[in-house]
Structure 1
Amino acid sequence: MSKEVLVLGGTGFVGRNLVVHLLERHGERILIRVADKCPPAMAFLSQEYKRAFDDDRVEFVQCDLTRKSGINKGWTRDGGRWDIVVNLAAETGDGRDEALYEKRCAGLSAMNAERAGEEGPDLYIEMSTAFVYASSFRAPNDEQARTNPITLQGKWKLKGEEVVREVKGLNWCVFRPAIIYGKGDRNSIMPRAVCAATYVGTGERMDFLWDGGIKMSTVWVGDVCRAVSFAVESPETFGGKIYNLADSGDSTQGSINGLLGETFGIDVGFVGRIISNVARIHMDGVVEVANEKHMRPWSELCAKHDISTVLSPYISRELLQAKNVNVDGGKIVEEAGFQYSRERIRREDIVECLEEACEARLFMRIWEGAGGTNEMGGEEEEEEEEKG
C-alpha cells in the first residue's frame, strides 16, 4: 500500500534530503507533497535535489504556513487526508528577532498541529531541536532531562512542541536532533567552514572563543531522514514519543574545528577561557568585530571566483557563548531498533558538504591541495553546568 506524505517546509536543509530519501526508500509506493514558502527554483538546489523535485511522485505547493490561507492551500487535496505529515517548517537562521522565532516556530507549529487534529493523519511528526535542553557538560541530555533552551529558536520550538502534544486526538511524534550536518547544510557547520575558507593561504590561525572542550553533539542529515522514514513506516510505534537524534561521536568545538583545519590546511585554536570571560563583558562588540573580520575576505573570495551565495561566515552571539549541546541519542536505538549509519562527523563529511555547495554554485574549491599543520590551542577546562 502506498504512503501519501505531506512535508511542510520541504525545500529546506532536512526537507530536500528527506524527499530524496523517501523516493529511494519507498519507490513507487510513495506520493509526496512539499509545502513551502520557498519554491525549488529559488532554493539553490544541486542536481540531486532538482531531480527529486522534478520526479512525478513529488508535488510542490508554494504557501505561507504561518497563515491560515497558506495552511489551507498546503494541506487541501482531492484524495482526502494525508497518511503522514512531517513538519520541518521553522525559522532556522541564527540571530533573528525573537518575534520572528515566535511566529515561524511556535506559531507555525501550533497552527499546523491544529489542522492535523482536524484531519487526523496516521502520524504527525514535529521536527524540533536539541537546543531545547539546558547546557550540560558532564551528562548528555536524554529525553527526560531538564529543558532550559540555550537559543531563542530552542525556546520557541519547545513552546511549539508543547502545543503539538496537547492537540486532542492527534497521534504525534517529536524528534529533537542535535547539530545536523550533511549535504545541503547552510546554517549549521557551514558558517564555520566559510570562516575557515577565509584563512586559506594567509598563514593566520583561526581562533574561536572559549576552548575545544565545549560539547557540540552532531547527527548526520541522512540519519535524521532515516529516523523520519522509520516513523513513516511504523506510526503506531512512534506515536506519542519524543526521541533525541544524536550520534555517539561526542563531538566538541575542538574536534569539529580540527576537522575544518585538516580539510582546509589551516591552523585552528581557541583564545581560552580567561580572554573569553573578559570578552563576555563586551560580547556584542566582540561578535561584531569577529564577523566583520571574516565578511570582507569572504566577499573577496566570492568575487574572485564569480560566486553569488547565500552562505555566510556570520555566527550569532548565541552560538558563540559557552553553551554545551550535549545529547544522548540512544533511546531510539533501544526502543525502536533504529541504528545510526554514521557514528561521528568525519573529514569526508565536511568535504561532502563542500562538494554539494560547489555544485550548487555556493562555494569554491579552495580546500583541494591545501597544506599546513593544525594546532589545537586554548585551555581544556570543563564547562560549568548552567544554573537556574
Structure 2
Amino acid sequence: MPSVLVVGSANFYGRAVIQELCAQRDLSSDTWMIRGVDKVLPELALFPPNVIKLFESVDYRMGNLRSAEFLEQAFGDTQWDYVINIAEYKFGQTAAVYEQDVRLMSLEVARLASKYKANALVHVSTAHVFKPHGSPNTPHVEDDAMEASNELAATHVRTEQELQMCKGRPPLVILRPALCYGPGDRQNVVPMLISAQISHATNQPMPILWDKDLRVSTVHVADVARACIQSAKWIATQNQESFAVFNLADLGDTTNAKLANAVAQLFNVKPSFQNSAFNFIAKRLKTSELTEEVNESLLGPWMELLTQHGIANSPLSPYIDAEHPYCRLEHCPLAINGSRVENTQGLDFKYQYSSVSPDTLRPMIDEFQQLGLWPTSI
C-alpha cells in the first residue's frame, strides 16, 4: 500500500500533486494512503469543485505548518513511503518570514521524515538560485554555481545545503522548478496575463519589458507534480544516504518573446517590446523603482476592469514584487536546462508539456472565470 504525505498540499504545487496522486491511485489496484496537510481548508483555497472533490477523497489535515507539534501530528505513527515538502511562499516577505516558512519548516520536515523512517523525501526549491555566467542564454545545469540575488533565493540556497547535511535523513531529492505556470498559479505568469487582458479591453498593444531573446525557462505545474512523485519512487530504491537534484524546465527553450507571444495570442493582442532606449533606462533603475512604475500602470486599469464585470473581490493582481524573477531578467536570465530528470535511468519521467503556448495557458483563464475571479470578455 503506497503511503504519501504531502506537506503544503493546498497551494499551487500541492493541489497538482494531490491531483496526480489521486489519478495514479484510481488507476491502481492497490489501496493508497494519501495525507495532505496545510494551513488552509481546501474549500477556502479558491479551488474549483472538481479539485475540492479530490481533496475529500484523501486524509486532509489543517494546521500551522510553523508548529513543530502540528507537523509531528501530521506524520503520526505512520512510516511513510514518500514525504513531499512543497510548502509555498509568497514574494516580498521579510527575511524572518522566509527563515521560518522555508528553512526552519523544511528542516523540521526532514527531521520528522528521518524519525518516522520515510523511504524518500522530496523537497521543492526553485531554479532561480544560479549565479549568472558569461553567456546569459546558456542554460544552467544542476551543478552550476549558486548565487542569491535576493533574500528569498538566499534562504533557498541555505535550505538546500542544510538538507543535504541532515544526519540520518532519508534518500533526498531536491527539485528546482523554473518559472512555473498552470491552473492555480497566482503570482508567476498571472501579471503578464492581466497585462494582456487590459490590452485586450483597451485595444492597445501589450507592453513587454526586456529584450526578446532573453531566456525565461518555463515548466507546467502538472510536470512538477509528476516529477515529485516519480523522483520519490526512484530515490526510494537507491542507497539510504542517496541524494539527487533536478532542474525542472520544459524543453521548449522559452524566450521572453515566446512567452509574450503565447500570452498575446491567447488574448488576441499584439506584444510591444520596448525599444532599446527604454530598456537602457530600465536597466539602470533599481528593481524597486522599476516594479513601482509597472505596478502603478496596471493596478488601476485592472481594478476598473474587475468593477465593470461585477467582480468585487479577486486575489489576482498584476502586482510584480521586486523578488519576482522576471523583474531581474536583464541581470539574471532564467535559462534552465531541465533534461537531467528525463535522462536519469530508472526515474521514468518525461515532460508532458513541451512548451508554453496559448493552449497550455487557456485552462488558467477558464478556471479563474469559473471561480468568478476574471472578466469573461475573452
| Structure 1 and Structure 2 fold alike (TM over 0.5) | yes
Distance of 1:129 and 1:29 partners within structure 2: 32
Alignment match of 2:280 (pick from 264, 277, 280): 277
Q: Is there any run of 5+ residues in structure 2 with no aligned partner, and where?
A: none
Contact 2:180 2:220 in 1 (8 A): yes
Partner residue of 1:362? 373
Aligned-residue sequence identity (percent) comes to: 25
User: Are 2:3 and 1:4 aligned?
Assistant: yes
Distance of 2:184 and 2:291 partners within structure 1: 26
Amino acid in the other structure paired with 2:179:
I
Distance of 2:182 and 2:369 partners within structure 1: 14
Contact 1:17 1:49 in 2 (8 A): no
Partner residue of 1:236? 237
How big is the shift at 1:32?
1.2
Alignment match of 2:271 (pick from 259, 268, 273): 268
Cα deviations by residue, 1:295-322 (Å, 9 ceiling, x for unpaired): 1111112222222211110112233222
Partner residue of 1:348? 359
Alignment of 1:329-344 (within 5 A): 329-335=338-344, 336-344=347-355
How big is the shift at 1:87?
0.1
Aligned length: 361
Amino acid in the other structure paired with 2:369:
C
Alignment match of 1:246 (pick from 249, 262, 272): 249
Alignment match of 2:99 (pick from 95, 99, 102): 102
Partner residue of 2:117? 120
Distance of 1:67 and 1:300 partners within structure 2: 40
Contact 1:173 1:241 in 2 (8 A): yes
Partner residue of 1:320? 327
Contact 1:110 1:160 in 2 (8 A): yes
- The TM-score normalised by the length of structure 1 is 0.88
Cα deviations by residue, 1:56-90 (Å, 9 ceiling, x for unpaired): xx11111222221232232224xx32221100003
Q: Return 163-172 or 233-242, whichever deviates more.
A: 233-242
Partner residue of 1:82? 80
Cα deviations by residue, 1:214-273 (Å, 9 ceiling, x for unpaired): 211111111111112213433224941111111110101211111111111222122244
Closer, same or farther: CA 106–86 of 1 in aligned 2, 3 Å: same
How big is the shift at 1:151?
4.1
Closer, same or farther: CA 193–66 of 1 in aligned 2, 3 Å: same
Q: Is there any run of 5+ residues in structure 1 with no aligned partner, and where?
A: 368-388
Q: Return 273-282 or 108-117, whichever deviates more.
A: 273-282
Cα deviations by residue, 1:165-203 (Å, 9 ceiling, x for unpaired): 111121211111111111111111112101211111323
Distance of 2:16 and 2:348 partners within structure 1: 22
Cα deviations by residue, 1:11-34 (Å, 9 ceiling, x for unpaired): 001110111111111225321111
Amino acid in the other structure paired with 2:300:
R
Cα deviations by residue, 1:115-171 (Å, 9 ceiling, x for unpaired): 222222000110111011123523211111111134432221221111211111212
Alignment match of 1:305 (pick from 300, 304, 309): 309
- The TM-score normalised by the length of structure 2 is 0.90
Contact 1:142 1:244 in 2 (8 A): yes
Contact 1:143 1:243 in 2 (8 A): yes
Partner residue of 1:30? 32
Partner residue of 1:214? 214
Q: Return 5-14 or 307-316, whichever deviates more.
A: 307-316
Closer, same or farther: CA 104–286 of 1 in aligned 2, 3 Å: same
Amino acid in the other structure paired with 2:197:
A
Partner residue of 2:44? 42
Contact 2:173 2:232 in 1 (8 A): no
Partner residue of 2:161? 162
Alignment match of 2:296 (pick from 292, 295, 306): 292
Distance of 1:362 and 1:73 partners within structure 2: 35
Contact 2:195 2:298 in 1 (8 A): yes
Contact 1:117 1:167 in 2 (8 A): no
Closer, same or farther: CA 62–229 of 1 in aligned 2, 3 Å: same
Amino acid in the other structure paired with 1:144:
D
Partner residue of 2:18? 19
Q: Secondary structure at 1:317's aligned position in 2?
A: coil
Distance of 1:155 and 1:236 partners within structure 2: 31
Q: Return 313-322 or 279-288, whichever deviates more.
A: 279-288
